[in-house]
Amino acid sequence: MKRIVSLVLLLLTVTTSGTVTFALDGGDAAGAACSVVACGVGGIFYILIIAVAIAIPIILIVVIIKFIRKDAISRGMPNADSIKWLGLLGVLGLVIYLLQRPDIVLVACPRCGTPGLPGRPCAQCGNA
């Protein structure tokens, strides 16, 4: 993260100083002021682009990890807490998980109707 911030600051400094130098060569103070403002707006725009480019993959990975963990627990997988780390691979990890997860059909409890795993006691009423 420090490297990204340093790179952004370096690019902003080079861009700003270059633009101001070009504007001042003509002796036009209004042009110099305009270029400084434009560089500031451009710098903010660059920072927003970098922030979005970093935030989108992080949000996607968090959503995938939550989905994998919830689905693994609902399917009664014994390694539900460790399998969620496949989400760190992003979409590839989701595909791997979807291909290797067990195909279990949930059945309704005869007493309360809550869906559950076949052959296990009902989570809500305890009926076998």
Beta carbons of 98 and 74 less than 8 angstroms apart:
no
- 127: in domain: no
pLDDT bin (cut points 50, 70, 90) of residue 48 is confident
Q: Which of 41, 83, 88 is CA-nearest to residue 64?
A: 88
This model's pTM is above 0.85? no
Task: Supply φ then ψ for residue 86, to 5 degrees.
Answer: -60, -25
Q: How far apart are CA 15 and CA 7, in angstroms?
A: 12
Q: What is the pLDDT of residue 84?
A: 77
Q: How many domains does the chain have?
A: 1
Query: Residue 126 domain-assigned?
Result: no
Provide the pLDDT for residue 22. 57
Q: What's the pLDDT band for 52 if we cut at 50, 70, 90?
A: very high
Q: Confirm whether 95 is domain-assigned.
A: yes
Residue 8 · residue 44 · CB < 8 Å:
no
Domain residues for 30? 2-116
Rounded-to-integer distance, Cα 23 and Cα 57, Å: 39
Domain assignment present for residue 125? The answer is: no
The yes-or-no verdict on residue 71 having pLDDT over 80 is yes
